[in-house]
């Protein structure tokens, strides 16, 4: 499997959304940019903020759509076309209600699981054959759909935020493998719990 050329973090633009659960994808790419001295700049024709970085021996584009979550596909589709990148060479990092805070899971292909940013990317790309990094944010509880929107747009508790940041840190540990195309190896490492002595 080919390596990565693009990492997309999903979230909502604006200071009021900065620390919300729905912005876990932004947290990830912002932390990655800081790690490698990347600088985001607004790219209006791509409807996003972009940074070109060197990571794990590879030149990578980082993208944060500025379209709001539900229209993420507009930005992602434009970036793939503009940079001539195949969807299979992309990693999309997003929050996931179905995983508890502290969980991080890699995935290739499959459905969108109701995640609105992914749903819009599917609509623009035409399929789901791209890599995802799912960052768990927990769920407000079964049978209470009305609480999902305030939950994802709300700020996590201090304990949940620490767990989410820990998950992002563990994903960073395997990111070089993902970038180099060793996806199965990265998945195995990330998904296998470490033995606690």
| Number of domains the chain is built from | 1
Whether residue 99 lies inside any domain: the answer is: yes
Which residue range(s) make up the domain with 111?
6-191
Q: Please report whether residue 98 resides in a domain.
A: yes
Q: Is residue 101 part of a domain?
A: yes
- Block residue for tokens 């927990």: 138
Please report the sign of the dihedral spanned by the C-alpha atoms of residue 149, residue 67, residue 131, residue 136.
negative
Quick check: is 118 in a domain? yes
Q: Is residue 187 part of a domain?
A: yes
177 falls within a domain: yes
In a domain, 1, yes or no: no
**Active-site amino acid positions:** 22
51 falls within a domain: yes
Provide the CATH number for the domain around residue 29. 3.40.50.1470
Grouping H, G, I as helix, E, B as strand and the rest as coil, residue 91 is strand
Edge-to-edge strand list for the sheet holding 6-9: 41-43, 48-55, 58-65, 6-9, 90-96, 131-136, 104-108
Query: Do the Cβ atoms of 121 and 73 come closer than 8 Å?
Result: yes
| Structure-token match 């993420």, residue found | 72
Task: pLDDT tens for the chain, 197 residues: list them.
Answer: 578 999 999 999 999 999 999 999 999 999 999 999 999 999 999 999 999 999 999 999 999 999 999 999 999 999 999 999 999 999 999 999 999 999 999 999 999 988 999 999 999 999 999 999 999 999 988 777 788 889 999 999 999 999 999 999 999 999 999 999 999 999 999 998 764 44
């Amino acid at each position: 499997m080919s390596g990565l050329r693009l990492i997309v973090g999903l979230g909502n633009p604006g200071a009021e959304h900065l620390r919300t659960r729905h912005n876990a994808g932004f947290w990830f790419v912002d932390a990655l940019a800081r790690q490698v001295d990347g600088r985001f700049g607004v790219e209006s024709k791509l409807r996003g903020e972009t940074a070109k970085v060197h990571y794990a021996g590879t030149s990578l584009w980082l993208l944060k759509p500025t379209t709001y979550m539900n229209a993420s596909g507009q930005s992602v589709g434009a970036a793939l076309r503009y940079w001539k990148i195949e969807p299979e060479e992309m990693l999309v990092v997003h929050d996931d209600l179905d995983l508890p805070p502290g969980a991080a899971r890699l995935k290739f292909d499959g459905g969108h699981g109701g995640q609105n940013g992914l749903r819009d990317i599917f609509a623009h790309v035409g399929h789901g054959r791209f890599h995802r990094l799912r960052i768990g944010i927990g769920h407000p509880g079964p049978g209470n759909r009305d609480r999902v929107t305030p939950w994802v747009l709300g700020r996590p508790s201090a304990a949940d935020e620490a767990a989410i940041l820990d998950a992002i840190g563990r994903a960073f540990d395997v990111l070089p493998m993902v970038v180099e195309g060793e996806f199965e190896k990265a998945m195995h490492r990330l998904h296998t719990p470490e033995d606690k002595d």
